[in-house]
């Protein structure tokens, strides 16, 4: 994943987080937003995951 892809993923995570917190009507926006870049790098470039197959052994 290149820098632009990680940046786009971070933006998508922020949007999903804001929608979730807005739908719930409560939550801690600051704490949620402070980990977005870390999550984007981990899920986008480091961790070996397949969302389509949650039982994937990797």
Is the torsion defined by CA of 18, 23, 29, 35 positive or negative? Answer: negative
Rounded to an integer, what distance in angstroms lies between the CA atom of residue 54 and that of residue 32? Answer: 24
Rounded to an integer, what distance in angstroms lies between the CA atom of residue 18 and that of residue 50? Answer: 24
Tens-digit pLDDT profile for residues 3-44: 999 999 999 999 999 999 898 888 788 888 889 999 999 988
Rounded to an integer, what distance in angstroms lies between the CA atom of residue 19 and that of residue 31? Answer: 15
Quote the strand ranges of the chain, DSSP E.
Answer: none
**pLDDT at position 18, please?**
92
Find out whether 10 and 42 touch, Cβ atoms under 8 Å: no
- Arithmetic mean of pLDDT, 40-58: 85
């Amino acid at each position: 994943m290149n820098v632009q892809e990680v940046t786009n993923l971070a933006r998508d995570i922020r949007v999903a987080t804001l929608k979730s917190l807005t739908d719930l009507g409560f939550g801690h926006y600051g704490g949620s937003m402070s980990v977005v870049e870390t999550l984007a790098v981990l899920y986008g470039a480091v961790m070996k995951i397949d969302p389509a197959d949650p039982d994937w052994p990797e």
